[in-house]
Amino acid sequence: MLSFVGTNFHGWQVQPNLRTVQGVLSDALGVLFGEKVKLIGCCRTDAGVHAKEYVANFKSSKLFPLDNLLKALNAILPEDVGVKKVWLEDIGFNARYSVAGKLYIYRVFPSHARDPFLEPFLWRIPYRLDVESMKRATELFLGKHDLSGFAKLDEEECNPFVEIEECSVEEKDRIIEIRLKAKRFLRYTVRRIAGCLIYLGMGKLTVDDIKEFLNGKRCPYTAKAKGLTLEKVFL
């Protein structure tokens, strides 16, 4: 299990000539094990998205004491990635398919004030938000929906139906948190649902608009990546 600050990463998945979390972690494991390591992550993340909990797995023909592996990885990884826990899993475990669910939190700060300690982890907007309207609209997303209008589908993610277990809005110290939990999400889905709720709160979008997106119309409202954190992975 690891965590990372996504600000200076081009997402999780390895991309040629770009700094990615998978690339950095694979390189570190390769140094320690002396062989190329195939690393499987629990999901892809967009460039700039953060993770407090992220699960990945790999297989190796070589043994490495777990306590030593944790220390060694954190000694050579850059400061914006940290390994929190390592353990042995069953041979059939696959981080992408074996996890039971993921909780994302999107943080938005409706204020002209700026806190540099928070700025990298939220979307600060100069608008007041109607939080009660946002809360009521979350009910639209609960349950199983065809989320084609909120996603970028590719050959690997051809099933557009997603069952959302939690969709809620909370306000904490003037920061508004949009919480979304499901076993799986489609690409851009969380950021676009967050974008809809935020623009609804601004008064620039209506509930009827959101219903049209849920019926297949493409949603053009994508919240900024830096406000999104993969908060917890359920095993």
Q: Where are the domains of the chain?
A: 2-97, 101-234
Separation CA 50–CA 67 (nearest Å): 25
Q: Does domain 101-234 have CATH number 2.40.170.20?
A: no
Domains 2-97 and 101-234 share a fold: yes
Secondary-structure class of domain 2-97 per CATH: alpha beta
Quote the pLDDT of residue 156. Answer: 61
Q: What is the pTM of this model?
A: 0.94
Quote the pLDDT of residue 65. Answer: 87
Provide the token pair at 187: 């690409």
Picking from 109, 141, 107, 113, the residue whose alpha carbon sits closest to that of residue 125 is: 109
| 127-139 pLDDT tens trace | 899 999 999 999 9
The dihedral built from the CA positions of residue 4, 5, 8 and 9, taken in this order, carries a sign that is: positive
Give the catalytic positions in this structure.
46
Quote the pLDDT of residue 223. Answer: 97
Task: Tally the C-alpha atoms within 13 A of residue 78's C-alpha that lie toward its C-beta.
Answer: 16
- The answer to whether residues 38 and 95 touch, using CB atoms and an 8 Å cutoff, is no
Residues in the chain with pLDDT < 50?
none
Q: How far apart are the first and last CA of the chain?
A: 11
- The answer to whether residues 29 and 39 touch, using CB atoms and an 8 Å cutoff, is yes
Quote the pLDDT of residue 88. Answer: 92
Task: Tally the C-alpha atoms within 13 A of residue 74's C-alpha that lie toward its C-beta.
Answer: 15
Quote the pLDDT of residue 7. Answer: 97
Separation CA 20–CA 133 (nearest Å): 37
